[in-house]
Structure 1
Amino acid sequence: MASSQKRFVSILLQEVMCNRPEDTFGDEFFGVSVAQTSPISASRNKSLATPILELRGGEKKAFRGDDGKVFADEVETDDRIEIGLMFGEDDSITGTAVNAILDAAVSGAGGSFGAPGAFAAAVVTAAKDKLAGMFDPNDVLGTVQKVVYMDKLQEGRNGPYQWKFTADSHSIVEDNHRFEAKETLLDSKTHPLLDWNYRVSYVIDVGRLSSR
């Protein structure tokens, strides 16, 4: 039997920059994510609920340690990692509420893999639905559906990369940084009081090849 080849992969949020908050007086920013490999790598998975960060316009804050760890595990070189993320804010958000949104995202994904991107899409949909049921649907600042193919990554640090979220464009679909589509979900002319501008940076660290 041929030995499998793996690399240890870490996907890490680095920092969030608030160029303009959704609330004039500042936002209570948070994020949830669910990441998983296919069965090729034994469906390795990780979920994340970030700390709640108080941000005003012009402020930048870093994710420290495990606070921004989206994924960290060994992955087969012929596999992919799918990630669904949602970033939101609400002035009454609590850690308990963030964890409830994350639990809904995990349940919504179901742990099963179908067509590329389907897992990530299910995570995002479930997280948005839970937030909308608890708070205001407009409290979703941004979502990401991301598919990372191992054979497209370089050993060492990949990035930093950046996602940008605004009221006019806050739904991002990515396929290893080679394809990006942004869907306009809100018309700022129709909703003149809804406006925000955030940037979230991240890196993908890839370890040396190992055979087992």
Structure 2
Amino acid sequence: MTITLRSVQCRNTEDVTGADEFYVRGGVSVPGLPPRAVLTKPFEINDNQKLFFSGALQDPDQAVLFEGNLSDAASIEIGLNFYDADFNLEDWDSRYQSLLAAVGGGIGAALGMVVAGPVGAAAGAMVGATGPALAKAFSTIDKDDLLGTVEQTVKVSDLTEGRHEDTWTFSNNRPSIKIPPVDEPPLVKPKKGSWWSDWDYTVSYVIDVGPGR
């Protein structure tokens, strides 16, 4: 099974003067397996533009959220933050590995606090852990603008063999999305919009399920 970020569609940027420098950070957790840190390098995207991660990223592997074989009893927790980068992009090339390690360390420590937590707790912990972890590794990281967050639990038993494609949509009025397991509707935490920015994004992802899961 693989879970991969596929595309990002921007209807309106957060930056009122031009393109956003879009990137993703967070983690993916499966009980019994080491967590996977997620950190994509920023790329420019503007109003009414759609880009595929496979083409926008120099290393498409950064868009892979999970890859491996799982039993039907397993569940996958995804906790992601979507950002507009406000610092020098040249720093990403020289410091990417240290930043990725900081994300991994942050989510690992956070998950250690919720080993016996309820379903969805791991996703929430990972969403909250990346900011402090990167702030320690990169003093200017806290200047980035948060566009949205996703906390999602995927139950393997709910998936049939083949490709499944879905989307997350977030904006200044709807920045946070929770997707519980089974067929419960998403739980949205509304946020008052900003008077100076009205961003609006949709990120698509694919889940490919093989015969051996």
- Aligned partners of 2:201 and 2:159: how far apart in 1? 26
TM-score, length of structure 1 as denominator length: 0.82
Match of 1:209, SS state, is coil
Offset at residue 108 of structure 1 (A)? 2.5
- Of 85, 108, 112, the match for 2:110: 108
Aligned partner of 1:81 in structure 2 is: 76
Query: Are residues 45 and 100 of structure 1, via their aligned partners in 2, closer, same or farther at CA, if it must alter by over 3 Å?
Result: closer
Report the Cα distance in structure 1 between the residues aligned to 2:130 and 2:182, rounded to whole angstroms.
23
Q: 1:34 to 1:23 in 2, by over 3 A?
A: same
Give the unaligned 5+ runs of structure 1: 1-8
Match of 2:142 in 1: 135
Are 1:90 and 2:85 counterparts?
yes
Give me the whole-angstrom Cα distance separating, in 2, the residues matched to 1:53 and 1:113: 37
For 1:91, the aligned partner's letter is: D
Q: Decide which structure has greater strand share.
A: 1
Kept after mapping to 2: 8 A contact 1:79/1:149: yes
Task: In structure 2, give the amino acid aligned to 1:45.
Answer: P
Residue deviations 1:122-164 (CA, integer Å, cap 9, x gap): 0001124456884247x11111111011110111111x21111
Q: Is the 8 A contact 2:147 2:170 kept in 1?
A: yes
1:177 to 1:165, Cα distance in 2 relative to 1, 3 A: farther
2-side partners of 1:194 and 1:177: how far apart? 35
Offset at residue 99 of structure 1 (A) = 3.2
Matched, 1:63 2:53: yes
Quick one: distance in 2 between partners of 1:71 and 1:80? Answer: 12
**TM-score normalised by structure 2 residue count:** 0.81
Matching residue within 146, 151, 154 for 2:160: 154
Q: Conserved in 2, the CA contact under 8 Å of 1:28 and 1:53?
A: yes
1:143 aligns to what SS in structure 2?
Answer: strand
> Would the aligned equivalents of 2:155 and 2:182 in 1 still touch at CA under 8 Å?
no
Aligned-residue offset at 1:60: 1.5
8 Å CA contact retained: 1:37, 1:75: no
Q: 1:9-44 CA deviation, whole Å, 9 max, x = no partner?
A: 1011001111101002111110013112113xxx25
Can you give the 5+ residue segments of structure 2 that lack an aligned partner in the other structure? 55-59
| Counterpart amino acid of residue 55 in structure 1 | I
Taking the aligned partners of 1:141 and 1:11, their CA distance within structure 2 comes to 21
Return the match for 2:40 from 45, 50, 70: 50
Give the direction of change, closer, same or farther, for the CA distance of 1:80–1:207 in structure 2 (3 Å limit): same
Aligned partners of 1:38 and 1:69: how far apart in 2? 18
* Counterpart contact for 2:42–2:85, Cα < 8 Å: no
Q: For 2:116 and 2:76, how far apart are their aligned partners in 1?
A: 10
Q: Which amino acid aligns with 1:135?
A: D
Query: CA offset at residue 109 of structure 1?
Result: 2.7
Whole-angstrom CA distance in 2 between matches of 1:56 and 1:80 = 35
Tell me the residue number matched to 2:57.
none
